A and B are shown apart, each in its own frame.
Chain A
Amino acid sequence: MYKYDAVDKAIVSDRVEQFRGQVSRHLAGDLSAADLAPLRLRNGLYMQIHAHMLRVSIPYGLVSSEQMRALAQVSRQYDKGYGHFTTRQNIQFNWPELADVPDILKDLSNVEMHAIQTSGNCIRNISSDQYAGVATDEIIDPRPYCEIIRQWSTLHPEFYWLPRKFKIAVTGATEDRAAVKFHDIGLEVVYNDNNEVGFRVYVGGGLGRTPVIGKVIKDFLPREDILSYCEAILRVYNLHGRRDNKYKARIKILVNAMGIDDFRDEVEAEWQHFKDGELKLHDIDFETMQAFFPKPAYEELTSGDDRVAKWRSLDSRFKAWYDNNTVDHVEPGYRIVNVSLKEHGVAPGDATDEQMDAIANIAEKYSFGEIRVTHEQNLVLADIREQDLLEVWKELDQVRLATPNIGSVNDMICCPGLDFCSLANASSISVAKQINEKFDDFEELYDIGEVKLKMSGCMNACGHHHVGHIGILGVDKKGEEWYQLTVGGDASNDAALGTHLGKAIAKDKVGDAIGDILDVYKDLRSDDERLLDTFRRVGIDPFKEKVYSEEA
């Protein structure tokens, strides 16, 4: 993975000292809370209902064992012994003291981590495919491109006070696991007719109050131009994005107001001024960066280890885990292991210090010392030998990280909701529990297959409900918590927003409604259709009829 050089180190440690200065000026009364607010935000520090929340950047979700141990240590020393892995592949600590934050950042800088630009109206952490480098459908490894964009966007002086936050995602595989069409800028790798690498560029996608699918601004952008083209988009947005209303300030609103064609013309005109200047990348830059993400020292193995078949037949729990939580690897004899952070009864995405340490150790022992964070609030061990699967499973199971539910209804994305968030209309964690309890029969879950369930506690959509195969949105009805359901959303290649099922549902009936939706699916599905496929074929009506039938 990427290792800091002297420049990276200087920038991150100067930044820690700069923030230490800001905090001490504030504590001494020389910097008002109002003036500190945007500065602390650009260092990942929010105010929440109960306390500050610190969001630490995990660039494109990649974290080493050493870094994971440092995160565990932060949660132990400065927090309540757990952290929350987020949908943008970062980690959040919910209880740090303001005065401790400069020390936390100092500790993290020792393992080459920081919280720069993890919040505030600036360019955020670059997100990507959690299977980068090991996916069977990979065209090109997106990580070098992510790291190049990360460095260029870090402390960019001109784009630090944008109209609103700005998120960039990169995918290098056929299947889009990075939701590039739901980012302010999405980059999807493509080859042109001359076999040159470039990117299809999407702009203006996003969720939140006004969900929009990103539009193609450029069909083929040569890879050497990614920085200058991003800069042109950012400059047009910085100058023309709305600043009078924060709900209309994202780039998606600007792109819709101007129309994609006029927006493109404006960006292209801007780009012409400097496209062949200093920002142009050279082949050597990609090679140098790719060298930080080498193929690990794989052994020569063959796939289909006999022992795995035997273990699967002997132990139904191992079988369930293998079938659900592991994925084909590009290298023979290896598998990708998903580590579920959706244990029954635990807030989705949370991990304790003990679990983080355990993961760090397992990764060191079996997976070249690297871990990935997924945008579905889980972790990944990318390089596990098939012959080690039983041991890995046992070690994960010991720390309750082997719940065999990846991709199922129980593997839901869920925002913090009323339990932590001052904006929430309704709680989401307790509804997650209700659903966990209703669907506790794993055999049934496996029969249902892939269902991406996503839940947000209000229309800010932190839980991405618009793109859930089933989406749940908390709404407030005269002070009571109600839930609006959607069906058919999709964050991947065939990006779609979910269709409204009907009027909101009472809190204690949400589990039943999900049950009804799944029953309709089981009745109507043909062959190997997923819920999403069946919905696309039959539409919303059969689901609607069943869910609301009892009231009729």
Chain B
Amino acid sequence: MSATKTVANRAIKARAKATPDRIQKDIISAKAIIDQKIVDNAIHHVAETEELTIADLPEGDISVPMNMWLDHKAELQARDSLVAVQIAADEFPEDFVEEYAEISHIVLPMVAHIDGRSYSHAFKLRTRFNYDGEIRAIGDVKYDQLGFLTRSGCNAFELPESESLEVALNAFSEMSDVYQPSADGAPLIFSRRRTVH
């Protein structure tokens, strides 16, 4: 689909680096929520800077910016630990369709929680590109975003250190019903009522 039309403000496709929509500092959290459970976390999320090179990557499980993945896929695949790949809010999932078979974990960095683009990214990854690996939201992700991020297709979260993960688990049961389909495959309310009538 992406080949059909170029959007006016999509000069971004020239694969800009280190934009304000990328994480500016590495993120390392001790815990994560995966599939609604609190677990220990080992992934070190590497920030994208202009100077970042493959030699700078730390040992162990990491996530790297998409640019790094595209430039150094072979070396990254040769590592014997987990390599997850970040798709920033200003990147477009349809530009990397060929990559998904080789990526087990996708990370969506949220620089500001009021920026809703990553919700559409998660939705497209799940429903259009049938991505069934982990989709993890990190950065400015808090309790009150977890419910909708889950419906849109994310299944893993890292929250800032100040947030209580135990409290945040409540987010998954706050709403007992929904009106519309999203990546969760919920039926449209009207199709449910159709079967009742």
Q: Residues of A at under 8 Å CB distance from B?
A: 5, 7, 10-11, 14-15, 17-18, 21-22, 30, 35, 38-39, 121, 148, 151-162, 227, 235, 238-240, 242-243, 254, 257-259, 262, 265-266, 269-270, 272-274, 277-279, 281-282, 284-285, 288
Residue of A nearest to B193 (CB): A288
**Extra contacts besides A158-B116, A158-B152, A272-B1 (13): CB < 8 Å:** A7-B189, A18-B175, A21-B170, A155-B178, A159-B116, A159-B119, A238-B116, A238-B119, A257-B8, A258-B7, A265-B4, A277-B181, A285-B194
Chain B residues whose C-beta falls within 8 Å of the C-beta of A239 in the assembled complex = 92, 117, 120
Classify the interface of chain B: helix, strand, loop or mixed: loop
Contact of B177 among A11, A22, A265 (CB under 8 A): A11
Q: B96 at the A/B interface (Cβ < 8 Å)?
A: no
The 9 closest A-B pairs by CB, nearest first: A161-B116, A157-B148, A157-B151, A285-B190, A258-B8, A278-B181, A10-B177, A158-B119, A151-B179
Chain B residues whose C-beta falls within 8 Å of the C-beta of A39 in the assembled complex = 144
Closest CB-CB distance, B107 to chain A, in whole Å? 18
Q: B130 at the A/B interface (Cβ < 8 Å)?
A: no
Contact code string B141-184 (vs A, CB < 8 Å = 1, else 0): 01010011101100000000000100100100011111111100
Chain A residues whose C-beta falls within 8 Å of the C-beta of B149 in the assembled complex = 157
Closest CB-CB distance, B22 to chain A, in whole Å? 15
Chain B residues whose C-beta falls within 8 Å of the C-beta of A30 in the assembled complex = 164, 167
* Among A21, A239, A242, residue most surrounded by chain B Cβ atoms (within 10 Å): A239
Contact of A266 among B5, B167, B189 (CB under 8 A): B5
Q: Are A269 and B175 in contact (CB under 8 A)?
A: no
Contact of A22 among B5, B10, B144 (CB under 8 A): B144
Chain B residues whose C-beta falls within 8 Å of the C-beta of A160 in the assembled complex = 116, 119, 148
Give B95-144 interface residues, CB cut-off 8 Å to A: 113-117, 119-120, 123, 127-128, 142, 144
Q: Are A162 and B116 in contact (CB under 8 A)?
A: yes
Q: Are A14 and B179 in contact (CB under 8 A)?
A: no
Q: B60 at the A/B interface (Cβ < 8 Å)?
A: no
Classify the interface of chain A: helix, strand, loop or mixed: helix
A-B contact count, CB below 8 Å?
135
Closest CB-CB distance, B123 to chain A, in whole Å? 5
* Among B1, B115, B116, residue most surrounded by chain A Cβ atoms (within 10 Å): B116
With an 8 Å Cβ cutoff, the count of chain B residues facing the other chain is 46
Chain B residues whose C-beta falls within 8 Å of the C-beta of A18 in the assembled complex = 174-175
Closest CB-CB distance, B126 to chain A, in whole Å? 11
Chain B residues whose C-beta falls within 8 Å of the C-beta of A15 in the assembled complex = 175
Closest CB-CB distance, B161 to chain A, in whole Å? 14
Contact of B182 among A157, A257, A258 (CB under 8 A): A157
Closest CB-CB distance, A285 to chain B, in whole Å? 4
Chain A residues whose C-beta falls within 8 Å of the C-beta of B182 in the assembled complex = 156-158
29 A-B residue pairs with Cβ-Cβ distance under 8 Å, sorted by A, are: A7-B177, A11-B175, A11-B177, A17-B174, A22-B144, A35-B144, A151-B179, A151-B190, A152-B180, A155-B179, A156-B179, A156-B180, A157-B147, A157-B178, A158-B116, A158-B119, A159-B119, A235-B120, A257-B9, A259-B8, A265-B4, A273-B128, A278-B181, A282-B190, A282-B191, A285-B190, A285-B193, A288-B190, A288-B194
Closest CB-CB distance, B45 to chain A, in whole Å? 21
Q: Are A269 and B144 in contact (CB under 8 A)?
A: no
Chain B residues whose C-beta falls within 8 Å of the C-beta of A259 in the assembled complex = 8
Chain B residues whose C-beta falls within 8 Å of the C-beta of A159 in the assembled complex = 116, 119
Closest CB-CB distance, B81 to chain A, in whole Å? 33
Q: B188 at the A/B interface (Cβ < 8 Å)?
A: yes
Contact of B188 among A242, A269, A278 (CB under 8 A): A278
Closest CB-CB distance, B16 to chain A, in whole Å? 14
Q: A161-B119, A243-B115, A262-B8 are in contact. Are A10 and B176 (CB under 8 A)?
A: yes
* Among B9, B92, B189, residue most surrounded by chain A Cβ atoms (within 10 Å): B189
Contact of B7 among A38, A227, A240, A243 (CB under 8 A): A240
Q: How far is the CA of A262 from the CA of B4 in the complex (A)?
A: 11
Q: Are B120 and A238 in contact (CB under 8 A)?
A: yes
Q: A235-B120, A239-B117 are in contact. Are A157 and B152 (CB under 8 A)?
A: yes
